[in-house]
Amino acid sequence: MSDLQLTILLIEDDDVAAESVERSLRRREVDFPVVWAEDGAIGMAILRGEHPTKKIAPPYIVLLDLNMPRMNGFEFLQELRADKTLEGTVVFVLTTSDSDIDRSRAYHEHIAGYVVKGAVGPHFANLARLIVNYGNSVKLP
């Protein structure tokens, strides 16, 4: 569906939600590979090339949950933006939080978009369309 070969780093502690996102992408023939990280610390290790088994190469985008153990989404964003080699990473927040405070705080960390899980439609259909449209519309480094 997209000319861009993009990898998605999905940082999500809920394995059911992670599987739902992946299944939704496959259902809509979005053939972007998905690398799953169970929390922000694992996500940072993958991005820095320090994870023993999971690797990712550009171009990629991050789908980030906010509420996770160990390193939550906000802690991940702060560390990501403080890292000179990763600070420009494109991040979409994918969360259950519809809080204006969380949304403002996330945008303050220069995210590309804030998606509330309950608002993306059945089985993440709208999320799949968003990713495809994004992949077809932008040029990533």
User: DSSP letters of 91-128?
Assistant: EEEEES---HHHHHHHHHTT-SEEEEGGGS-GGGHHHH
Q: Identify whether 46 is part of a domain.
A: yes
Q: Identify whether 82 is part of a domain.
A: yes
Mean pLDDT of the region 59-63 = 94
60 - beta bridge partners?
7
pLDDT of residue 1: 45
Do residues 7 and 33 make contact, with C-beta atoms less than 8 angstroms apart?
yes
Which domain covers residue 51, as residue numbers?
A: 7-137
Place of tokens 């369309």: 129
Mean pLDDT of the region 7-34 = 87
Give the pLDDT confidence of 74-129 residue by residue, as tens digits: 999 999 999 999 999 999 999 989 999 999 999 999 999 998 887 665 557 777 88
- Whether 2 shows a pLDDT value over 90: the answer reads no
- Whether 54 shows a pLDDT value over 60: the answer reads yes
Task: Compute the mean pLDDT over every residue in the chain, rounded to the nearest whole number.
Answer: 89
Q: Identify whether 1 is part of a domain.
A: no
**Buried b / exposed e along 42-80 (16+ C-beta atoms within 10 A):** bbbebbeeebeeeebeebbbbbbbbebeebbbbbbbebb
Query: What's the structural domain count of the chain?
Result: 1
Mean pLDDT of the region 124-137 = 80
